[in-house]
């Protein structure tokens, strides 16, 4: 795994043209290990920012309490303002996860295509303004959630009242069941259709609604393939989870009837170590998941656009190769 920045004009790590499932599964790993240090930094940065903000908040709170001991038992206006500001700051910082997810996806596309060397600086420049777009996206999701809750109450409340009065004859329960089936089916459909929202916002610098439209366009005619690719990604994550988990269970079963204190201590240490490996592996799996989705987006974007679409998207590079052409090498004189 490489921690240093590669030299300019790096070769593409994936073939030109649309990708097969094997290209995406193996290619995501090649891309990930090529710049493991960068991907790990992008993963941890939002949490480090959140940790730093918490330290600052704690320091300010301690200083306020030391200056005014009443703050321990009585909420002063200044403390209320501080807690509200901290809560809002945590909400905004939590949305940075999506921004760094977008940066990870751009870096993955950079390495897959060989178009540019991703660095923290140029990734930050290419995702400038994305936080605001993510905020709008989350507000849209929040508004949709409110509408769905209101619709759910408006539909289910009369059914519950009718059933409670004894006039439903069991039809209300059937209706409620069918409604929930439709609701979960719609949620499943929407989840697949929105697969490419974050990569579209990051790579194409689209606003929230255009990014949603773009995701719908890319999943059009490829719904079940998109779901299948996501399912494979989920199975990879499940395997990472299950292997150390089953090892821990095996240790517990093997020592369930042990009466030796040393054996019990060894079992607890072994279980703790296995669970630690599991959590670390799942943490390191997250960038792979982002790169995998980015390659899904890249391959599907090539497929939809055809051979006339060059990369990168913004701005269109007149010298860019078409999707189905290999990267241009250095010119040679015969």
Tens-place pLDDT, residues 95-111: 999 999 999 999 999 99
**Is pLDDT at 54 greater than 50 in this prediction?**
yes
Q: Which two tokens stand for residue 146?
A: 């409110």
Q: How confident is the model at residue 308 (pLDDT cuts 50, 70, 90)?
A: very low
pLDDT of residue 231: 96
Q: What angle do CA 230, 119, 16 make, to 5 degrees?
A: 50
Q: Quick check: bond before 307 cis, omega within 30?
A: no
Question: What are the residues whose beta carbons fall under 8 Å from the beta carbon of 298, sequence distance 6 or more?
Answer: 19, 109, 112, 113
3-state helix, strand and coil shares in percent for the chain, rounded to the nearest 5: 75, 0, 25
Tell me the sheet residues that pair with 310: 322
**Number of neighbours of residue 23 by Cβ within 10 angstroms:** 17
Interval 55-79 mean pLDDT = 71
pLDDT of res. 243: 85
């Amino acid at each position: 795994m490489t921690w240093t920045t590669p030299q300019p004009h790096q070769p593409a790590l994936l073939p030109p043209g649309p990708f097969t499932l094997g290209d995406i599964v193996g290619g995501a790993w090649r891309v990930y290990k090529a710049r493991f240090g960068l991907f790990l930094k992008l993963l941890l940065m939002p949490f480090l920012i959140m940790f730093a903000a918490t330290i600052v908040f704690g320091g300010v709170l301690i200083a306020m309490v030391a200056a005014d001991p009443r703050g321990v038992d009585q909420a002063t206006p200044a403390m209320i303002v501080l807690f509200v500001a901290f809560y809002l700051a945590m909400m905004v910082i939590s949305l940075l996860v999506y921004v760094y997810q977008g940066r990870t996806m751009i870096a993955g596309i950079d390495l897959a295509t060989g178009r540019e060397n991703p660095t923290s600086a140029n990734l930050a420049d290419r995702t400038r303004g994305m936080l605001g777009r993510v905020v709008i996206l989350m507000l849209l999701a929040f508004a949709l959630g409110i509408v769905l809750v209101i619709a759910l109450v408006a539909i289910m409340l009369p059914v519950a009242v009718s059933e409670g009065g004894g006039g439903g004859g069991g039809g209300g329960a059937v209706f409620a069941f069918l409604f929930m089936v439709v609701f979960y089916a719609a949620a499943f459909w929407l989840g697949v259709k929105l697969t490419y929202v974050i990569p579209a916002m990051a790579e194409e610098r689209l606003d929230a609604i255009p990014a949603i439209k773009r995701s719908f366009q890319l999943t059009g005619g490829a719904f079940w393939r998109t779901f299948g690719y996501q399912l494979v990604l989920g199975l990879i994550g499940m395997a990472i989870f299950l292997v150390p988990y089953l090892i821990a269970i095996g240790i517990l079963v093997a020592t369930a009837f042990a009466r030796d204190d040393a054996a019990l201590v060894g079992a607890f240490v072994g279980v703790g170590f296995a669970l630690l490996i599991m959590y670390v592996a799942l943490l390191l799996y997250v960038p792979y998941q982002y790169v995998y989705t980015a390659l899904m987006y890249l391959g599907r974007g090539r497929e939809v656009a055809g051979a006339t679409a060059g990369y990168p998207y913004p701005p269109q590079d007149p010298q860019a190769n078409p999707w189905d052409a290999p990267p241009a090498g250095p010119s040679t004189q015969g």
